[in-house]
Chain A
Amino acid sequence: MLTFKLALRNLLGAGLRTWLNVLVLSLAYVVIIYMNGMLDGWNRQAKTDMVHWSTGQGQLWQKDYDPIDPFTLQNSMGKIPVEFTGLVEEGRIAPVLVAMASFYPEGRIQSILLKGIPENQKVIDLPTYSMTGDTSEIPGIIGKRMAESNKIKVGDMVTLRWRDRNGTFDASDVRISAVFNTNVPMVDAGQIWIPLSRMQKMFGAPGEATILISDKPVWPKFTDENWVSKDVKTLTAEIDQVIKTKSIGSAVMYIILLLLAMLAIFDTQVLSIFRRQREIGTQIALGMTRWQVVRLFTIEGAMNAVLAAALAAVYGIPFLASQAKSGIPMPQATDSMGLAIAEKIFPVYSIGLIIITIVFVLITATIVSYIPARRIAKMNPTEAIKGRIQ
């Protein structure tokens, strides 16, 4: 208790020096939590966006469909099971027909994936409602990346050429009715989305689809064995793997930040303790044991960390909470560099992250205070009193 009292008295007595230490240490807390919160938020957002924009809560695939093998597309069109008719009409199951096609932006030819989806679907975030209305032209929607790479804007007409299931080539114009902004390249790059009914007609595949996307993880019973169920876990396995790989990077980043904080604390403590060796010698002369001195300085270091945690809470909680609420705007440049990042990243601060950071900084501050204090306390007190560095 006495040591705590003296440590507190020393800290408060040191005034500005203490508060500068505490401020720097509190910044370490906030920066570490902020950086990791941002990385966690990025990861979580990537997965959430993938579910919202692409996978839904689960999918049924035509049994031959392989998204990375375009040659499978021709044989991957099948009748939508009748058991799902009601849910499709309600927009809770989104059938998607997928086929290869070509389009001609500014006189060039480019292979694309043509995807048909009902305009009334409510399963994924694509603005398919933009395709409703005038039926004389084929309305289509594309992603921002697709629009930018081909210099297409809303209202533009692009020529589309495809081969139907009988092997006959056909062509038509598509009017771009919306350009959507997503950070999920799977629904953007090299793709044009048109109304499902129009595409079924174009390909001679009425009532057919390649995949079915559901807003629920559980499907109603159906009998058609040509449809294979894929749950969210399977559909997001790839991004989970990416997150896992990134997590290793995040952990390295976390450790580097902690080491930097540790170095800053160590430097401050070493400087402070060596500067105070005369004080240490005097305390020993006045009747403190070496162990009491070591304990005093160690507790001072730990108290620095506790005060820093309190200060970090004062300005850090409102700051981190506001960032979590309003998000961190990401520069446009990240997108052009090929990084699929949302316009804003919403950091996620887990209790585990906060507790581990506080405990780690506290332990670090304690250890790096103990080491130099022990060294000084081992000094000959007669030399320490004179302030002679040994």
Chain B
Amino acid sequence: MESNKTVIEIRNLVKTFPMGNREFTALNGINLIFSGGEFSGLVGPSGSGKTTLLNIIGTLDSPTEGEALVLGSSVGKLSQKNAAQLRNLKIGFIFQTFNLLPVYSAFENVEFPLLLQKLNAAERKKSVMDALDWVGLTDKIKSRPAQMSGGECQRVAIARAIVKKPEIVLADEPTANLDAENSHHILQTMVRLNHDLGTTFLFATHDEKVIGYLRRIIKLSDGKVSKDEMVTNK
């Protein structure tokens, strides 16, 4: 499934945050390469730096030192406009708390990234219906987030992340708010998307259920990569 194409390359990445009078180092000298089609996870306890790294890869944050190349673009050097464009076209996000737009229906939530791409209505409708079909929610197109279960909301969020057929999907603790059954359902959906579309999935998680599905596990502790291993039996 993996291709030889490098989609993410992290070189000597350091990220610090001001904390009172001193600085807190969240990431310290990270070096990682991700190829297209990977199904990988950043694993570690809270505060280990996995979400920070995910945010930098997602161009929502920038490195303090070092470089993060995402699909050939250096995150720290991207203008706001180009970063937004990269996120819109190439990167899908899945959040722990779903982050669906509350006043939009499932259809409208999934349609949102396509509206930003200025696709015409027919194209948008087809793509949205395909995405919702992928996650098995075509019967909920008119439902709003408040009218759906947590599992359904996360499936809508997945549909929103994959509707634009991104090269990378970044998922931050996607199962944290779901029960075991829904978690497995969601993860199976993502495995299927990874397999069928070749989308690169990168998780930040400490959930054993998620870890069980990963083909590459990168352990972070205190802002450093402590272990980077491939899981061969998947």
Q: Please indicate the chain A residues that have their CB under 8 angstroms from the CB of B227 in the complex.
A: none
What separation, in Å, do the CA atoms of A10 and B89 have in the docked complex? 23
- Are A286 and B88 also in contact (CB < 8 A) when A5-B115, A380-B61, A382-B60 are? yes
Is B33 engaged at the interface, CB distance under 8 Å to the other chain?
Answer: no
> Please, which residue of chain A has its CB at the minimum distance from the CB of B144?
A13
Most B C-beta atoms less than 10 A away, residue of A6, A282, A381? A282
Name the distance in Å between A279's Cβ and chain B's nearest Cβ: 6
Which of B80, B85, B113 is in CB contact (< 8 Å) with A290? B80
Q: List 20 A-B contacts (CB under 8 A).
A: A2-B115, A5-B115, A10-B103, A281-B99, A282-B101, A284-B84, A284-B87, A285-B99, A286-B87, A286-B88, A286-B93, A287-B85, A287-B89, A287-B117, A288-B84, A289-B84, A380-B61, A382-B51, A382-B55, A382-B60
Is A79 engaged at the interface, CB distance under 8 Å to the other chain?
Answer: no
Are A286 and B61 interface neighbours, CB within 8 A? no
Are B108 and A9 interface neighbours, CB within 8 A? yes
Q: Please indicate the chain B residues that have their CB under 8 angstroms from the CB of A292 in the complex.
A: 84
- Is chain A's interface secondary structure helix, strand, loop, or mixed overall? helix
Are B99 and A287 interface neighbours, CB within 8 A? no
Is A248 engaged at the interface, CB distance under 8 Å to the other chain?
Answer: no
- Are A285 and B60 also in contact (CB < 8 A) when A9-B104, A279-B101, A385-B95 are? yes
> Please, which residue of chain B has its CB at the minimum distance from the CB of A384?
B60
| Residues of chain B having any CB pair with chain A under 8 Å | 51, 55, 58, 60-61, 80-81, 84-85, 87-89, 93, 95, 97, 99-104, 108, 112-113, 115-118, 160
Which of B51, B80, B160 is in CB contact (< 8 Å) with A286? B160
Are A13 and B103 interface neighbours, CB within 8 A? yes
Are A385 and B99 interface neighbours, CB within 8 A? yes
Are B60 and A288 interface neighbours, CB within 8 A? no
Is A145 engaged at the interface, CB distance under 8 Å to the other chain?
Answer: no
Q: Please indicate the chain B residues that have their CB under 8 angstroms from the CB of A284 in the complex.
A: 60, 84, 87
Number of A-B contacts (CB under 8 A): 68
Is A333 engaged at the interface, CB distance under 8 Å to the other chain?
Answer: no
Is A295 engaged at the interface, CB distance under 8 Å to the other chain?
Answer: no
What separation, in Å, do the CA atoms of A290 and B80 have in the docked complex? 8
What 3 A-B pairs are tightest by C-beta distance, nearest first? A287-B88, A13-B103, A282-B99
Could you list 20 further interchain pairs (A-B, Cβ under 8 angstroms) beyond the known A282-B95, A289-B81, A382-B61? A2-B115, A6-B115, A9-B103, A13-B104, A13-B108, A279-B102, A281-B99, A284-B60, A284-B84, A284-B87, A285-B87, A286-B88, A287-B85, A287-B87, A287-B113, A287-B117, A289-B84, A382-B51, A385-B95, A385-B99
Most B C-beta atoms less than 10 A away, residue of A278, A282, A287, A382? A287
What separation, in Å, do the CA atoms of A278 and B84 have in the docked complex? 17
What separation, in Å, do the CA atoms of A278 and B93 have in the docked complex? 14
Q: Number of residues in A with C-beta < 8 Å to the partner?
A: 26
Q: Please indicate the chain A residues that have their CB under 8 angstroms from the CB of B85 in the complex.
A: 287
Q: Please indicate the chain B residues that have their CB under 8 angstroms from the CB of A5 in the complex.
A: 115
What separation, in Å, do the CA atoms of A132 and B101 have in the docked complex? 81
What separation, in Å, do the CA atoms of A2 and B102 have in the docked complex? 19
Is A14 engaged at the interface, CB distance under 8 Å to the other chain?
Answer: yes
Q: Please indicate the chain B residues that have their CB under 8 angstroms from the CB of A6 in the complex.
A: 115
Q: Please indicate the chain B residues that have their CB under 8 angstroms from the CB of A285 in the complex.
A: 58, 60, 87, 93, 95, 99
What separation, in Å, do the CA atoms of A9 and B95 have in the docked complex? 23
> Please, which residue of chain B has its CB at the minimum distance from the CB of A290?
B80
Q: Please indicate the chain A residues that have their CB under 8 angstroms from the CB of B88 in the complex.
A: 286-288
What separation, in Å, do the CA atoms of A380 and B103 have in the docked complex? 23
Name the distance in Å between B119's Cβ and chain A's nearest Cβ: 11
Q: Please indicate the chain A residues that have their CB under 8 angstroms from the CB of B116 in the complex.
A: 2, 286-288
Are B104 and A286 interface neighbours, CB within 8 A? no
Most A C-beta atoms less than 10 A away, residue of B61, B81, B99, B117? B99
Name the distance in Å between B230's Cβ and chain A's nearest Cβ: 29
* Binary flags per residue of A4-32, CB closer than 8 Å to B gives 1, else 0: 01100110011100000000000000000
Mark out the residues of chain A between 287 and 321 whose CB falls within 8 Å of any chain B CB in the assembled complex. 287-290, 292
> Please, which residue of chain B has its CB at the minimum distance from the CB of A2?
B115
Are A381 and B60 interface neighbours, CB within 8 A? yes
Q: Please indicate the chain A residues that have their CB under 8 angstroms from the CB of B58 in the complex.
A: 285
Q: Please indicate the chain A residues that have their CB under 8 angstroms from the CB of B89 in the complex.
A: 287
Name the distance in Å between B93's Cβ and chain A's nearest Cβ: 5
> Please, which residue of chain B has its CB at the minimum distance from the CB of A387?
B97
Name the distance in Å between A280's Cβ and chain B's nearest Cβ: 10
What separation, in Å, do the CA atoms of A278 and B101 have in the docked complex? 9
Q: Please indicate the chain B residues that have their CB under 8 angstroms from the CB of A286 in the complex.
A: 87-88, 93, 112-113, 116, 160
Q: Please indicate the chain B residues that have their CB under 8 angstroms from the CB of A13 in the complex.
A: 103-104, 108
> Please, which residue of chain A has its CB at the minimum distance from the CB of B101?
A279
> Please, which residue of chain A has its CB at the minimum distance from the CB of B102?
A279
What separation, in Å, do the CA atoms of A292 and B113 have in the docked complex? 13
Q: Please indicate the chain B residues that have their CB under 8 angstroms from the CB of A278 in the complex.
A: 97, 99
> Please, which residue of chain A has its CB at the minimum distance from the CB of B104?
A13
What separation, in Å, do the CA atoms of A286 and B61 have in the docked complex? 14
Are A2 and B118 interface neighbours, CB within 8 A? yes
> Please, which residue of chain A has its CB at the minimum distance from the CB of B79?
A289
